[in-house]
Amino acid sequence: MNRHGGPAVSSRVGRQFVRRSAGGNRQAAWGPHNGGVTETTTLLPLPLLPDRRVRLEGPLNFRDLGGYLTRDGGMVSWRQVFRSDSLESATRADVDIIVDDLQIKTVIDLRTDGEIERTAARSRRLPGVETCHLPLVDRPGFADPMFFPGVGLDELYLLILHRSAERIIDALRLVADVPRPLVFHCSAGKDRTGLVAATLLGVLGVGDDDIVRDYAVSSYAMAGLVERLRGGHPASGSTVLPPAAYEAEPASMRTVLGDLRHRHGAVVGYATDHGLPFEVVRRLRAELVE
- Let me know if residue 5 belongs to a domain: no
* Higher-confidence position of 290 and 1: 290
Query: Are 202 and 248 found together in one domain?
Result: yes
- Let me know if residue 100 belongs to a domain: yes
Query: Are 236 and 188 found together in one domain?
Result: yes
- The share of the chain scoring above pLDDT 90, in percent, equals 59
Q: Backbone dihedral region of 124: left (phi > 0), alpha (psi from -120 to 50 degrees) or beta?
A: beta
- pLDDT at residue 255 greater than cutoff 60: yes
Tell me the pLDDT band of 149, cut-offs 50, 70 and 90: low
pLDDT value at residue 140 = 53
- Burial of residue 73, with CB atoms counted within 10 A of its CB: 0-12 exposed, 13-18 middle, 19 or more buried: exposed
pLDDT value at residue 230 = 66
CB 181 within 8 A of CB 283: no
pLDDT value at residue 226 = 77
pLDDT value at residue 141 = 52
pLDDT value at residue 31 = 41
- pLDDT at residue 169 greater than cutoff 60: yes
Query: Are 172 and 258 found together in one domain?
Result: yes
- The share of the chain scoring above pLDDT 70, in percent, equals 72
* CA-wise closest residue to 157 among 252, 264, 222: 252
Q: Is the peptide bond before 181 cis (omega within 30 degrees of 0)?
A: yes
- pLDDT at residue 231 greater than cutoff 80: no
Query: Are 38 and 171 found together in one domain?
Result: no
pLDDT value at residue 224 = 85
In angstroms, how far is CA 103 from the centroid of its own chain?
17
Predicted TM-score of the model (pTM): 0.80
- Let me know if residue 284 belongs to a domain: yes
Tell me the pLDDT band of 211, cut-offs 50, 70 and 90: very high
pLDDT value at residue 18 = 39
- Let me know if residue 201 belongs to a domain: yes
* Higher-confidence position of 119 and 48: 119
Range(s) of the domain holding residue 163:
50-288
- pLDDT at residue 42 greater than cutoff 80: no
- Burial of residue 230, with CB atoms counted within 10 A of its CB: 0-12 exposed, 13-18 middle, 19 or more buried: exposed
Query: Are 27 and 138 found together in one domain?
Result: no
- pLDDT at residue 148 greater than cutoff 50: yes
pLDDT value at residue 290 = 96
Q: Tally the domains of the chain.
A: 2
CB 140 within 8 A of CB 110: no
Query: Are 43 and 88 found together in one domain?
Result: no
Query: Are 39 and 74 found together in one domain?
Result: no
- Let me know if residue 4 belongs to a domain: no
Query: Are 114 and 42 found together in one domain?
Result: no
- pLDDT at residue 14 greater than cutoff 60: no
Query: Are 127 and 23 found together in one domain?
Result: no
Query: Are 36 and 56 found together in one domain?
Result: no
* CA-wise closest residue to 69 among 271, 270, 204, 253: 204
270-280: pLDDT as tens digits: 999 999 999 99
CATH for 247: 3.90.190.10
Query: Are 147 and 80 found together in one domain?
Result: yes
Integer angstrom CA distances of residue 22 from 26, 40, 41, 42, 161? 10, 11, 8, 8, 37
